[in-house]
Amino acid sequence: MRKLFLLLFFLAATGEILSKFIEDDWLHHICKPLLMIFLGLYYSASVKIKGRSIFVLLALLFSFLGDSFLMYEDKDYMYFILGLGSFLVAHIFYCIVYNQHRNNVASNPLHGIHKLRLALPVILTGTGLVVVLFPHLDALKFPVMIYAMVMMVMVLNALFRYNRTTPFSFWMVFCGAALFMISDATLAINKFVTPLPAAGVMIMLTYILAQYFIIAGLLKHVSTKG
């Protein structure tokens, strides 16, 4: 069943990306909500009940809610707020998940100046995004700043799994977290600063890859742990 759910996820992803190219709302409204449903089913089918993390499923659930709310942001601004809040919660759950899916004992974990040196690009990127967005946010200044901070913490928690899991698991999860940040940054710049060419395709492609990479990396850690 796990291969079937993964196939259905990629079919939904293909349909969602296609809907952005051809600007088909009907296809968009069908495919987008299915993404996290199929990815959640794929995760559940890949892990025995005993090893399954409720926080992974909660992260995917709130991502599903975020996807669903943002489909209607053009109808009422409150849908954007609800979508932002849903993804904020999803990022918090992913922070918990990354700490669950790492080894407490590591041969060469990140410490001190090395840890700060690797974290600095993430912090500067997140801070730079806030600086760019801030003059355009109006009443959303505070919630967007909180969101950006939580997003940075999510990426940093993925980074701090370095040498605390397998190389494949680390890189998949970290690249997924970074792509999540790129997707959110593209969405924010396109919405608040200036329209970007092919923004819808870029936002969804990076988001879909982000979620898949994160789940695939987490599953690799679980399979290695046995």
Other CB atoms within 10 A of residue 148 CB: 21
pLDDT band at 74 (very low <50, low <70, confident <90, very high): confident
Mean pLDDT of the chain: 93
Q: pLDDT-based confidence at 139, cuts 50/70/90?
A: confident
CA angle 16, 18, 22 (to 5 degrees): 120
Q: What is the pLDDT of residue 5?
A: 98
pLDDT, tens only, 141-183? 999 999 999 999 999 999 999 888 999 999 999 999 999 999 9
Distance from C-alpha of 189 to C-alpha of 173, rounded to nearest angstrom:
24
Q: Does the pLDDT of residue 105 top 90, yes or no?
A: no
Tens of pLDDT, residue by residue over 17-52, are 999 999 999 999 999 999 999 999 999 999 988 889
* Domain span including residue 47: 2-225
What number is the average pLDDT over the span 94-110? Answer: 85
What is the DSSP track for 125-170? HHHHHHHHHGGG-GGGHHHHHHHHHHHHHHHHHHHTTTTSS-HHHH
Span 205-216, pLDDT tens digits: 999 999 999 999
**pLDDT band for position 226 (50/70/90)?**
low
**pLDDT bucket at 106, cuts 50 / 70 / 90:** low
Is the distance from CB of 200 to CB of 80 less than 8 angstroms? no
Residues 178-204: pLDDT tens digits?
999 999 999 999 999 999 999 999 999
Burial of 81 (0-12, 13-18, 19+ CB in 10 A): middle
**CA 46 from chain center: how many Å?**
20
For residues 174 and 119, the answer to whether their CB atoms sit within 8 Å is no
Look at the pTM and tell me if it is higher than 0.75: yes
Give the per-residue pLDDT at 117: 85
How many domains does the structure of the chain reveal?
Answer: 1
pLDDT at residue number 104? 80
